C-alpha cells in the first residue's frame, strides 16, 4: 500500500518525542566532551625506555580478564600470583570492590613473581604515579557472540552476562 500524505504527517507527530530526546542526548555528549579530563600526568611527555629493576605488576582489562588472570595464576604459579584485595571498610557494601595495597604488590614482587591486579584504569594512573609502572593488557573483544563463546569455553560455570561485559569493554 502506498503511504498517503496523511500517514506521513501522523508519523511526524508520533515521533516528535523521540526527536527531542535525541537532541538532549546530543547536548549531553557535547557537554561531556567539553569537560577537561583530570589526571596527574601531563598530556604529552617524553617517553624514555628504561629497564625496570623489578618484576612489574600486570593488569588485564576486557570481558575475559577475570578468566585470564585465574588461568595465568593456575598454569604459571611460579611466575604469576593474584594480588588479594582487602575490603575498604567494615561498614561498606559487601558487593563493592576492595583495595589492593601497595604492600601486597611489593610482597609478591619480592617473591620474584608478577602481581596480577584487578584494578580500574584510574588505579593504573595511581600505580604509574607511585612508579610501579604496571604492564597493561587489553583483551579486545570482537563481538558479543565472541565474548560468549570464549567465556563458555574457558569458564563454563560463569554466570556473567556476555552482553554487559562486551559493552563495558567497548566503553573502556
Q: Answer yes or no: is 136 within a domain.
A: yes
E strand or H helix that includes residue 7:
helix 5-14
pLDDT above 70 covers what percent of the chain?
Answer: 55
**CATH number, domain with residue 146:** 3.40.50.300
Cα separations in angstroms, 4 against 8, 11, 15, 16 = 7, 11, 17, 19
Q: Answer yes or no: is 44 within a domain.
A: no
E strand or H helix that includes residue 12:
helix 5-14
| CB atoms near residue 83 (< 10 Å) | 23
Q: How many structural domains does the chain have?
A: 1
Q: Where are the alpha helices (DSSP H) in 15-161?
A: 16-34, 65-75, 102-110, 121-129, 144-154
pLDDT digit string (tens) for 124-161?
Answer: 888 988 888 899 898 777 776 776 677 777 666 666 66
β-strand partners of 77: none
Q: Answer yes or no: is 115 within a domain.
A: yes
Q: Answer yes or no: is 68 within a domain.
A: yes
Residue 26 pLDDT exceeds 90: no
Amino acid at each position: 500500500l502506498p503511504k498517503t500524505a496523511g500517514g506521513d504527517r501522523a508519523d511526524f507527530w508520533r515521533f516528535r518525542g523521540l526527536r527531542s530526546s535525541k537532541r538532549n542526548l546530543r547536548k549531553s555528549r557535547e557537554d561531556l566532551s567539553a569537560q577537561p579530563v583530570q589526571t596527574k600526568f601531563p598530556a604529552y611527555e617524553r617517553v624514555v625506555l628504561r629497564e625496570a629493576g623489578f618484576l612489574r605488576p600486570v593488569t588485564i582489562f576486557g570481558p575475559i580478564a577475570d578468566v585470564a588472570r585465574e588461568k595465568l595464576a593456575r598454569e604459571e604459579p611460579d611466575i604469576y600470583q593474584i594480588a588479594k584485595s582487602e575490603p575498604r571498610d567494615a561498614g561498606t557494601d559487601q558487593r563493592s570492590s576492595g583495595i589492593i595495597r601497595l604492600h601486597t604488590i611489593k610482597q609478591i614482587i619480592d617473591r620474584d613473581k608478577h602481581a596480577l591486579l584487578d584494578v580500574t584504569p584510574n588505579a593504573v594512573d595511581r600505580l604509574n604515579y607511585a612508579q610501579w609502572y604496571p604492564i597493561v593488557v587489553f583483551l579486545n573483544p570482537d563481538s558479543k557472540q565472541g565474548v560468549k563463546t570464549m567465556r563458555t569455553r574457558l569458564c563454563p560455570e560463569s554466570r556473567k552476562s556476555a552482553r554487559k561485559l562486551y559493552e563495558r569493554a567497548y566503553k573502556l
